[in-house]
Amino acid sequence: MTPSHPNPVWGHIEEFCNADGWENVRSDTGHSFWERILADGTVLRTHRSMDPNKRIAPNVFARILRDQLRVSKAEFWQAINSGMPVDRPVELDEPPPEYPGWVVLGLMKLGLSEGQIREMTPDEAESLLHERWSSRGGRSG
């Protein structure tokens, strides 16, 4: 039975990584970095930089599941409860967000990495681009 954890804690990320066969590639100053290479060669990475007992905001947890761990919420808890790895590929709870190409390109021209952009929602990314353009007096720079 999958427990209900509406607000999981950061320690659950490490529990999942241990159950799912991730490698702890670095731990320092309270931070833990994990990596898993899938059968198709895809490299997944995640980390814990907060106190293991600190709650994870629901929107942050959803992004971690989707973008870093690439599992559904049910599979996340099943791996922790069973101690067994997730049988991938899996169907995610929600598809990755669609970012307009012009927004990604514009933000990358302003010095943001694709990873930094993907940490924002598409609306946040577009708003940031408009804000940066406004502060520079237009698109050209």
E strand segments, the chain: 23-28, 31-37, 43-48
Phi, psi dihedrals of residue 119, rounded to the nearest 5°: -80, -10
Q: In what order do the strands lie in the sheet with 23-28?
A: 23-28, 31-37, 43-48
Comparing 79 with 95, the larger pLDDT belongs to: 79
3 DSSP assignment: P
Per-residue confidence (pLDDT) for residue 89, from 0 to 100? 72
* CA 131 to centroid of chain Cα atoms: 25
Distances (CA, A) of 112 to 36, 59, 83, 119, 127: 25, 22, 38, 11, 14
Per-residue confidence (pLDDT) for residue 40, from 0 to 100? 85
Confidence of residue 2 (pLDDT cuts 50, 70, 90): very low
What distance in Å separates the CA atoms of residue 15 and residue 22, rounded to the nearest whole number? 10
Domain-by-domain residue ranges, the chain? 10-82, 101-135
pLDDT in tens, 5-56: 557 999 999 999 999 999 999 887 778 899 999 888 889 999 987 788 999 8
What distance in Å separates the CA atoms of residue 82 and residue 132, rounded to the nearest whole number? 47
Per-residue confidence (pLDDT) for residue 137, from 0 to 100? 66
Comparing 60 with 136, the larger pLDDT belongs to: 60
Say what the pTM is.
0.64
Mean pLDDT over the full length of the chain = 84
